A and B are shown apart, each in its own frame.
Chain A
Amino acid sequence: MKRARRGLLYVVFAALGLTLACAPPGQELVFWQFWPTEVVQPLLDRFEKEHPGVKVRMEQLTWQSGLEKITAAMAAGKVPDLCEMGSTFMPRMLAAGQLTDWSAGVADLRPQLRGWELCSIGDAVYGMPWVLGTRALFYNKTLFAKAGLDSTRPPETWPQLYAAAEAIQKLGGSTRGYGVQAGERYVLFKKFMPFAWGNGGRILTDDLKQAVFDSPENREALAFYISLRKVGMMERQDVLDRAFKSGTLGLEISGAWLCKSIPKDAPGLRYGVALVPRPSEERGTHASFAGGEVLVSFNASKHKAIALQLARFLVAPENALALAQSAQSVQPAVIGADTMAFYREHPEQQVMIKQFETAVPTPNHPAWVDLEAAIEDEVEEALHDRKTAEQAIQDAQRKLTELLAKPVR
């Protein structure tokens, strides 16, 4: 009996050994990303089919805790092979010096994709723009009509924006003209700076060494932004979006996630999307905030070469479009995406792509988090009437200068 059992054990071990010996020399690629599994998995299945022997182990991160998880992985030296990063993470990640330099591996893709500034320092490229996101002007066509405005002609300039908001505000009741962003970190910047950038204002010099925030352009932009409070409401992003969807807010700057949620939450809402207004017809640009999702690999990643292959596969027009189409809150980084059939059929989303052409990315400075906070604090001071626009811009300049003088930790 004992001998038989031992014999059985030998057979099991021999079979196990044979199985391991015959297995193909496959590689398991670890990919961390933020999209729902059902959106990304079909793409990964196709990649595995096209690359026999490669298995992609995908892990879904959340925006609430994803950065913490990536940080912990970097601290432990157990990083994934390929990782999706929000563009706002990038200045800190680039400063850490742990991302793989992909400059050579992506050189041929550079003319085909937009958004390289999100993952570059000078000419060196440390990632690949996958999908992009920006902010544009959302307007309620019904409220436009009620206020006697032409709902086919959204405001293109600051005076037109103010006049439209004023007319809608005058409708009274719970109706508000323009949604001014306030009371929320890391969001206010994206709502105010489009006006500053559009007016020719800047934050830092090109070499990122000096602050140039105190300028007549930025002062004028902040004064205009503050003035919008008189013809609207001041609230956080989610509240403004809810007000817009409930049909009580005429105009706000928001992102493509609204295009996705409106058909579900407010199917009857008649709305349009337009470029962020510029200062006047004679000058300025329709600037906005340029953000997006970037694919990166780490110096400590085990399978860097295949990670690059997977990244190239994911940013290919048909694959990035498949993701963007499913998510509907971002657009492919591919140049000319607005001519794709999907976007021709979805003009609101098409505007977002157009908007990205004049959108401005944040500077990839290692201390960007502090620089952004300094600007937001001062803009908020002005929004709460604790400072004039001029004082706030001056104080922001002083804070930025102090921060730039500090050694980067």
Chain B
Amino acid sequence: MRTHSRATAWAFLSPWIVTFAVFGLFPFAFSLYASLTDYSPIRAGARFVGLSNYGRALADPTFWSSLATTGIFVVGTIPLTTALALGLALAVQPAFRGRTLFRVGFFVPSVVSVVVLSLVFKGLYASGGPINAVLRALGLPAPDWLLSPRMALPAIMAMDVWSASGYYMIVFLAGLEGIPRDLYEAARIDGASAWVRFARITLPMLKPTLLFVLVVNTVRSLQIFAEVFVMTRGGPLHSTTTVVYYLYEQAFYRFDLGYASAIAYLLFLVTLAIAWIQTRLVRPATEPTR
């Protein structure tokens, strides 16, 4: 009987396991192999080159500048996205008329395809586009958003903050709903102000959610690609060349898949390190041992 139920469990799990093995594990292992070779998809045979692709990446100034660009993107967007998402969640949590409408409105951008959003923002950011029209009407300077090496990355970052906040708002809402109401009532009876209730109850109780948001958003932001691909193709003057866009160029424009795989693994290590630091910094307090 037990054997039978185990077989049933495996049968039900097998579609996921097969998919994960084929589209997850195999590419993961293959790219590790590729990173140790001079593999090119359009050339027969691959030569083992050891760690030289990794050495090449570490000596490549464009790799470092793309890592810096990615770093600026991550540091610039994550605090803003997290703060905005939490703010929105707090704003739409209490019951009020039209709450659902606001919740849906804030969430919608996160379900729209990144490519579609990027195309829309490309139009909004055009020198003669609506954003500049408003700025001009207000007598403010109208910058060349996506053409200026100084403005292009912040412009993409602004779009990302706007589009991603809605998703994390929903995550925070779920976290907020899980905080027992009686804690707030007790605090209110004790005369705690709104800020004290937020700082002493909401934030500590939200730590697991906050950790989840930080880690997931960091991993996603480190892999920023589609926005760059659609809006700037890494330009102007490499100002928006992120690590993933750079490795895409290496893989599919230069067909240097071995090198691209090495860059991917270096990014993986960076991601792993940052996620580990985040879990250390924002780890929820454990129950005191008696």
- Tell yes or no: A145 within 8 A of B by CB: no
Within 8 A of A (CB), among B210-237: 232-237
A317: min CB distance to chain B, Å: 33
Enumerate chain B residues within 8 angstroms of A381, measured Cβ to Cβ: 237
Contact in complex: A72, B41 (CB < 8 Å): yes
- Tell yes or no: B252 within 8 A of A by CB: yes
Known contacts A71-B41, A72-B41, A96-B42; A183 and B255 CB within 8 A of each other: no
Of the residues A71, A92, A235, A409, contact of B127 by C-beta under 8 Å: A235
Contact in complex: B146, A183 (CB < 8 Å): yes
Contact in complex: B42, A234 (CB < 8 Å): no
Give A242 to B127 CA distance when docked, in angstroms: 12
B245: min CB distance to chain A, Å: 10
- Tell yes or no: A233 within 8 A of B by CB: yes
Contact in complex: B252, A67 (CB < 8 Å): yes
The digit string for B98-129, where 1 denotes a CB below 8 A from any CB of A, is 00000000000000000000000010001110
Contact in complex: A380, B236 (CB < 8 Å): yes
Give A185 to B231 CA distance when docked, in angstroms: 11
Tell me the interface secondary structure of chain B in the complex.
loop
Known contacts A74-B41, A183-B235, A186-B233; A235 and B256 CB within 8 A of each other: no
Within 8 A of B (CB), among A201-238: 233-236, 238
| Total residues of chain B contacting the partner, CB 8 A | 28
- Tell yes or no: B12 within 8 A of A by CB: no
Contact in complex: B41, A183 (CB < 8 Å): no
Known contacts A98-B42, A370-B254; A233 and B127 CB within 8 A of each other: yes
How many interface contacts (CB-CB < 8 Å) are there between A and B? Answer: 75
Enumerate chain A residues within 8 angstroms of B96, measured Cβ to Cβ: none
B253: min CB distance to chain A, Å: 5
Contact in complex: A236, B42 (CB < 8 Å): no
Enumerate chain A residues within 8 angstroms of B128, measured Cβ to Cβ: 174, 233, 239, 243, 248
- Tell yes or no: B147 within 8 A of A by CB: yes
Query: Taking each of B38, B128, B233, B238, which has the highest tally of chain A beta carbons within 10 Å of its own beta carbon?
Result: B128
Of the residues B126, B149, B152, B253, contact of A239 by C-beta under 8 Å: B126
Cβ contacts A to B, 16 pairs, < 8 Å: A71-B41, A71-B42, A71-B252, A75-B42, A92-B253, A96-B42, A98-B44, A174-B128, A182-B236, A183-B235, A235-B147, A239-B126, A380-B236, A381-B237, A384-B236, A409-B40
Interface residues of A (CB under 8 A from B): 67-68, 71-72, 74-75, 92-93, 96-98, 174, 182-186, 233-236, 238-239, 242-243, 248, 369-370, 377, 380-381, 384, 386, 409
**4 smallest beta-carbon distances between A and B, as pairs:** A75-B41, A96-B42, A183-B147, A185-B233
Interface residues of B (CB under 8 A from A): 38, 40-44, 122, 126-128, 144, 146-149, 152, 232-238, 252-256
Identify 6 new A-B residue pairs, CB closer than 8 A, beyond the known A174-B128, A238-B122. A71-B255, A93-B42, A183-B147, A185-B234, A384-B148, A409-B40
